[in-house]
Structure formats: structure tokens, C-alpha cells
């Protein structure tokens, strides 16, 4: 069944609660104080199942100007507004304020109930109608039905029910595959159950047994039970009012304003990039302290203007909200801004990036925010990746910042030719342009390295990673090196990287030393040269050391054991000979190798260890097994 969440709106005492009760039979004024004083203080809830029609959930809000903050805790998630105007008073201050709030929240649908018609004559009623039409002209309610009703006599209630049913049928269901978000509007204990929370499921779906995270507190909870309008359900989808019984949470550890979502799916942030829309006549200076209503939460913040002048009246501008404590918002959320004291509604804000970096006013920042404003979630992911460059973004971060599931993001990015996913499943994303930049930086860094270290065959891979890929996500270095290698730009081994065109240039003395060292190693056969190479005949110690390192880097000499240097040719020959003599699975021991090489244990043991390392053999007790 299509579920519709309807919020009341209207001036104090105009009959919102009475109308909800007359429609549903449920008194939304549940607090004793409300019943005694005859006013609504906090949100009230009621529901109505129309025969063959949608299921209607009502969120009844207080009209008193002092309780607008409570109204906001419920108004953020509504599908449609029921604007209640008493025929005897017509449009009043909170009629205006609530209506403005609905517009700023992006509410697109609704009805107008012109109530208390039993108190007025036809002429007054006609006048009220006229005033309302004028008030609503040009707004989303301009064409909405205005239904005369009386909660006292019941007049017009049937027509109102029908109109609500028609509205519910006409509205498309909210997509249930979005990123689960349940902003809490009530937290209480129920005897025998423990902690119960309620809210409007604004996106995604939730089921009994789900592990969720309570944001921004970071607590893990489990859904023990789920109810929709008092009935037990196994799951609920976006657009419904839900009550969850939570395991692992004390009632004092949650509050209105907290948000339940999948673990790791949201990023609490004290910064929000927004586009502010001021109400006519309002102004907001740079650094003004404001109350920000983010879904059911209220947070104090400083507003940093990113464009326009402080004394501009009304209008729209980019800004960054610097919250006094972190909140979780979604991209595309609409916030309400109210003045710090006295609290009046100044305007609204559209969230462009719920977890940005600190921004200062500049042309570049305005362009960036302009691009985010025009983008859908998929394009927004690109814009954010372009802005972070070689740092890339962790998959969970990016998904949270564009408010989609990691799975959806992975699908989009797999299709995008300009985005690279790193890891399976993707752990991070980068713009391909940033990879080009990293590739260029790698080549430049290697060029400089070779110029400084002409005798080194290559640079350490780890050093390259540290110097060039320091901030880049894991996996990006492998990706860039593989690409450059495929393009014939460089050669890379497990721990060394060099430009393809790099050749070690040796002085005549170095060249001579290189030749004699290689010749000596060749002559030494399996026995090798002992380290440190002490052969004054080959040249001075530092020269020798340098050339030896070079030959090691080139792979022409290799280390065996702690102190032997062998010529690569002999080691290759040894491997071949072992394989020739002993088929895979044969057992080889020190004696057999002594026989093959004609050398003592001192040499054969390191040689066997070398063969193990090269995976020619594998140690098995005191022997070796030859591998295939």
C-alpha cells in the first residue's frame, strides 16, 4: 500500500489537532500538559487507513511561535502538507511561517483546510477564501483544493478524506533502494521492550535484525522489533512512519535529531556546503550565528558567505555552514535556518556537499559549488573526485557525500570512463585526470632521481610511493606503474623502478671495476665472492662498493647467504642443473648439493636457501623437495 506522510501546518489554535482527531479518531495531543492547556507543544502522530486507498500518517505540529523548532523536527520528512486555516481568523503569522518553511523544505504537494466553518457566515468564508488564494498565488499550493470543514460538526470531512486519498494515489512512491536514513523524532522506553525510537523513514528500507549505526554518536544498534502504526512488520520502506525497538541502546544514549543508518554509510561533519535561500526581507551577514535544522536535528552554526554582500536582502547565495557540533546531512537535503535569538525563520538551505573541506570565498569555490548545484548524484561524484585530484576519495566517503549506497556508486563508476575504482570491491575512487597527473609526476620524479643518482639502476619503489603517491589511495601506484610500463616509459621490478631510457653511465674507473668484478665473480663459480669484497686489486673500497651496488641493482650479481656474491649466470646454471638432475618431488640434501657443486657446507647451505627463495626447492625437515 502506498503510504503518505502528511504534516499539518498553521497558526496556533486554528484547529489542526482537532481536525486530525476528527479525521482519524486519534488525539495527537498526547502530553498531559497539551491536554490541560489546549495547545500542542510537541509533535503528535495519528494515522488513517482509507478503504482501498493509501495509508495516511499524520504528523500534527504545534502552531505556537515558540514551538516552531518542534514543528521542524517533524516537517522535514513529509510528502504533503495539510495547511489548516481557521475561517474566522484567516491567514495569521504562523500560517505564513509554516507555509514558508514548507516551501523552503521543498514540499511539493498539499491541501488547504479552511476550518471552523461552523463559526462564520458565508460572507466571512468567502473573504477568507479570497485571502487564501491571494496568499497562495504562485506557490505549490496555488492550484490545491481549499476545502471548507468543521471539526466540530463534521461538515466537509468526507470531502477532505477523499481529497487526501486522491493526493495519496497521485503521488509516486519514494524509491526504497536509496541510502537508508531514519532521523529520530522520538526516543522513549516502553515497559518490557526497552528503547523505542520513531521517525519518518526518508530513504531506503529497514528490517528486523538489521545492524544500524546511530549518527553522529557512532553507536551500533540492532533492530529487535519494527512497527508501522502499531502493527508489527518485518520491514518498512521509504515514506513510512516507523517505530523501532532497538537492542544495545539505553534511552539516554539517543535523542531527537540523531539519525539511524547503515554502519559506515554516513559521514558526520561540522561543515556543510549549501545554497542559501533567504525569505523576502531577511538578510544574513557573513559569520552570523544561526540555528540550522537538519532533518529532526537542530544545531548552532556560523554562516560563512561564499558570495554576495552581507546586506543583501532576500535572494540566493552559496555559503558554508560551520556547525558547532557535527551533524549528518545528505546531499540534496533542505535545511531551515533560523536566527539565534529571537528565533525567527530566515530562510532555507540546500545541501550541496554534506562533508566538504573548509571553503573560503573565491571564484574557484563558486564554480565548484555551481557544478554541484547543477549535478545529479552521479555527476556530483565526478565533481567531488575532480576536486580532490590525486588524493582520491575513500569509497564510503564519496558514497556518503553524494548520498547513495556504495553499490550504486560502484556501478556508476564502473560505467564512467573518467573515474578509476581501486580495489575489489572498490575501496577508493580517483579521477582519471588525477592519474595522468600522477603518471607525469612519476616520470618527472624518476628523471630527477636518475640525474642525481646516475649510478643507480633504479629508484626504490617504496621511496617513489612515499614521495609521489604520499596522499594517493592504496593501489594507485601499482596502477600508474603498470600503465607506464605498458606504454614503454619505465621498467619496474618488485622493489625498483627506472625510466626505460635510463642507462647507468660509468666513469672509466667505474667501468674497469665493473668489468673486473664481474670477471672475478664469473671465475669464482658457485663459490662466489665473499662480502665485503676485499680485493684491493679491483680498486678502492668506495668505488668497489658503488659498483657492487650497481651490479646488485642490475641483477648481474646476486646475494647468497649473508656474505656471498654470485654471478647471475652461475645461479641460473645451478637452477637448471638441479632441475635436470632431480625431477619435481625428488629429495635433495646438503650432500647431494655438495656433490653437484664440489663445495663444502659453508657454501652449499646458503645455496640451498637461495634455491628455496627462488622456489626451485622447498624445505622439508633436513632435506629439500624439488618443486615443479
Which of the residues 30 through 69 are near Mg ion (CB under 5 A)? Answer: 40
198 binds Mg ion (CB under 5 A): no
Contact 11, 23 (CB under 8 A): no
Q: Return d(Cα 312, Cα 34) in angstroms, integer.
A: 41
Nearest-approach distance from CB 10 to Mg ion, in angstroms: 9
Q: Which does 152 bind (CB under 5 to 8 A by kind): Mg ion, ligand GTP, none?
A: ligand GTP
Cell digits of residue 251 = 534511552
Question: Which C-beta is closer to ligand GTP: that of 21 or that of 291?
Answer: 21
How far is Cα 190 from Cα 26, in angstroms, rounded to an integer? 20
367 Cβ partners below 8 Å, 6+ apart? none
DSSP string for residues in 425-439: TTSEEEEHHHHHHHH
Nearer to Mg ion, 149 or 472 (CB): 149
Task: Give the one entry of Mg ion, ligand GTP, none that residue 54 binds, where binding means its C-beta sits below a cut-off of 5 to 8 angstroms depending on kind.
Answer: none
Distance CA 157, CA 175 (A): 31
Give strand pairing partners of 499.
490
CB of 20 to ligand GTP, least distance (A): 8
- C-alpha cell, 36: 490541560
Nearer to ligand GTP, 62 or 347 (CB): 62
Q: Which is nearer to ligand GTP, 9 or 246 (CB)?
A: 9
Q: CB of residue 208 vs Mg ion: minimum separation in angstroms?
A: 33
Cα–Cα nearest to 272, from 214, 218, 318: 318
94 binds Mg ion (CB under 5 A): no
Please provide the size of the chain in residues: 628
| Chain position carrying cell 622447498 | 618
Between 16 and 401, name the residue whose CB sits nearer to Mg ion.
Answer: 16
Cβ-contact 183, 257 below 8 angstroms: yes
Residue 64 or 391 having the CB closest to ligand GTP: 64
| Least CB distance to ligand GTP at residue 145 (A) | 18
Q: Residue 60: beta bridge partners?
A: 44
Q: How far is the CB of 118 from ligand GTP (least distance, A)?
A: 5
- Residue showing the smallest CB distance to ligand GTP in the complex: 63
Q: What's the CA gap between 141 and 82, in Å, rounded?
A: 10
> To which H or E segment does residue 581 belong?
helix 568-581
- Between 113 and 481, name the residue whose CB sits nearer to ligand GTP: 113
Least gap, CB of 341 to ligand GTP (angstroms): 22
For the bound state, the minimum distance from the C-beta of residue 340 to ligand GTP, rounded and expressed in Å, comes to: 24
Q: Does 17 bind Mg ion (CB under 5 A)?
A: yes
Question: Nearest distance from residue 65's CB to ligand GTP, in Å?
Answer: 10
Tell me how far, at minimum, the Cβ of 241 lies from ligand GTP, in Å: 19
Q: Which CB, 156 or 347, lies closer to ligand GTP?
A: 156
Please state, in angstroms and rounded to a whole number, the distance separating the CA atoms of residues 449 and 440: 14
Q: CB 445: neighbour CB atoms within 10 A?
A: 16
Should residue 195 be labelled a site residue for Mg ion when binding is judged by CB under 5 A?
A: no
Q: How many chain residues touch Mg ion (CB under 5 A)?
A: 3
- The smaller minimum CB distance to ligand GTP, of residues 60 and 333, is found at 60
116 binds, among Mg ion, ligand GTP, none (CB under 5 to 8 A by kind): ligand GTP
Examine residue 16 and tell whether it contacts Mg ion (CB under 5 A): yes
- Residues 386, 379: Cα–Cα separation, whole Å: 11
Question: From CA 21, how far away is CA 27, in angstroms rounded?
Answer: 5
Interior CA angle at 204 toward 202 and 207, to 5°? 110
Instruction: Give the bridge partners for 189, in sequence order.
Output: 195
> Which positions lie near ligand GTP, rule CB under 6 A?
10, 12-18, 38-40, 62-64, 115-116, 118-119, 150-152
**Grid cell in block for residue 570:** 652461475
Radius of gyration of the chain (CA): 36
For residue 59, the minimal CB distance to ligand GTP (Å) is 12
388 makes contact with Mg ion (CB under 5 A): no
Judged by CB under 5 A, does residue 24 bind Mg ion?
no
Nearer CB in complex with Mg ion: 11/479: 11
Which residues would be at the binding site for Mg ion (CB under 5 A)?
16-17, 40
Amino acid at each position: 500500500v502506498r503510504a503518505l506522510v502528511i504534516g499539518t501546518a498553521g497558526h496556533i489554535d486554528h484547529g489542526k489537532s482537532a481536525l486530525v482527531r476528527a479525521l482519524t479518531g486519534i488525539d495527537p495531543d498526547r502530553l498531559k500538559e497539551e491536554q490541560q492547556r489546549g495547545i500542542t507543544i510537541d509533535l503528535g502522530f495519528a494515522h488513517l487507513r482509507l478503504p482501498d486507498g493509501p495509508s495516511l500518517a499524520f504528523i500534527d505540529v504545534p502552531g505556537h511561535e515558540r514551538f516552531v523548532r518542534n514543528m521542524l523536527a517533524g516537517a522535514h520528512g513529509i510528502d504533503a502538507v495539510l495547511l489548516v486555516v481557521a475561517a474566522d481568523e484567516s491567514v495569521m503569522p504562523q500560517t505564513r511561517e509554516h507555509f514558508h518553511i514548507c516551501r523552503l523544505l521543498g514540499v511539493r504537494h498539499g491541501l488547504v483546510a479552511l476550518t471552523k466553518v461552523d463559526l462564520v457566515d458565508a460572507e466571512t468564508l468567502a473573504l477568507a477564501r479570497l485571502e487564501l488564494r491571494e496568499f497562495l498565488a504562485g506557490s505549490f499550493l496555488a492550484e490545491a483544493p481549499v476545502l471548507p470543514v468543521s471539526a466540530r460538526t463534521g461538515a466537509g470531512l468526507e470531502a477532505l478524506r477523499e481529497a487526501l486519498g486522491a493526493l495519496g494515489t497521485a503521488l509516486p512512491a519514494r524509491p526504497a533502494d536509496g541510502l537508508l536514513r531514519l532521523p529520530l523524532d522520538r526516543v522513549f522506553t516502553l515497559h518490557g521492550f526497552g528503547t523505542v525510537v520513531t521517525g519518518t523513514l526518508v530513504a531506503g528500507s529497514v528490517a528486523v535484525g538489521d545492524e544500524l549505526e546511530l549518527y553522529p554518536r557512532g553507536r551500533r544498534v540492532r533492530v529487535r522489533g519494527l512497527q508501522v502504526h502499531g502493527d508489527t512488520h518485518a520491514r518498512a520502506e521509504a515514506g513510512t512512519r516507523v517505530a523501532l525497538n532497538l537492542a544495545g541502546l539505553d534511552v539516554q544514549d539517543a535523542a531527537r535529531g540523531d539519525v539511524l543508518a547503515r554502519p559506515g554509510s554516513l559521514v558526520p561533519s561540522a561543515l556543510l556546503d549549501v545554497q542559501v535561500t533567504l525569505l523576502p526581507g531577511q538578510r544574513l551577514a557573513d559569520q552570523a550565528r544561526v540555528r540550522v535544522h537538519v532533518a529532526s536535528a537542530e544545531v548552532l552554526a556560523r554562516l560563512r558567505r561564499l558570495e554576495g554582500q552581507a546586506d543583501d536582502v532576500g535572494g540566493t547565495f552559496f555559503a558554508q555552514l560551520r556547525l558547532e557540533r557535527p551533524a549528518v546531512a545528505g546531499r540534496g537535503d533542505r535545511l531551515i535556518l533560523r536566527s539565534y535569538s529571537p528565533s525567527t525563520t530566515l530562510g532555507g538551505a540546500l545541501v550541496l556537499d554534506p562533508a566538504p573541506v573548509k571553503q573560503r570565498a573565491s571564484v574557484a569555490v563558486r564554480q565548484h559549488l555551481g557544478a554541484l548545484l547543477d549535478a545529479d548524484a552521479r555527476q556530483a561524484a565526478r565533481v567531488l573526485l575532480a576536486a580532490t585530484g590525486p588524493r582520491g576519495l575513500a569509497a564510503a566517503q564519496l558514497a556518503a557525500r553524494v548520498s547513495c549506497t556504495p553499490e550504486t556508486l560502484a556501478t556508476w563508476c564502473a560505467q564512467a570512463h573518467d573515474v578509476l575504482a581501486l580495489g575489489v570491491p572498490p575501496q577508493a575512487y580517483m579521477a582519471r585526470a588525477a592519474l595522468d597527473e600522477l603518471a607525469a609526476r612519476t616520470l618527472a620524479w624518476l628523471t630527477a632521481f636518475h640525474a642525481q643518482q646516475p649510478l643507480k639502476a633504479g629508484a626504490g619503489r617504496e621511496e617513489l610511493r612515499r614521495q609521489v603517491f604520499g596522499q594517493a589511495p592504496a593501489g594507485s601506484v601499482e596502477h600508474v606503474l603498470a600503465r607506464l610500463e605498458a606504454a614503454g616509459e619505465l621498467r619496474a621490478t618488485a622493489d625498483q623502478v627506472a625510466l626505460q631510457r635510463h642507462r647507468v653511465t660509468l666513469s672509466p674507473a667505474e667501468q674497469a671495476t665493473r668489468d673486473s668484478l664481474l670477471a672475478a665473480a664469473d671465475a669464482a663459480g658457485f663459490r662466489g665472492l665473499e662480502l665485503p669484497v676485499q680485493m684491493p686489486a679491483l680498486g678502492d673500497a668506495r668505488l668497489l662498493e658503488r659498483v657492487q651496488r650497481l651490479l646488485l641493482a642490475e641483477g648481474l650479481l646476486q646475494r647468497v647467504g649473508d656474505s656471498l656474491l654470485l654471478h647471475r649466470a652461475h645461479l641460473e646454471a645451478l637452477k637448471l642443473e638441479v632441475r635436470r638432475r632431480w625431477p619435481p618431488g625428488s629429495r635433495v640434501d646438503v650432500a647431494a648439493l655438495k656433490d653437484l657443486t664440489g663445495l663444502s657446507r659453508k657454501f652449499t647451505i646458503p645455496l640451498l636457501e637461495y634455491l628455496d627463495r627462488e622456489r626451485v626447492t622447498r624445505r622439508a625437515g633436513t632435506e629439500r623437495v624439488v618443486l615443479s
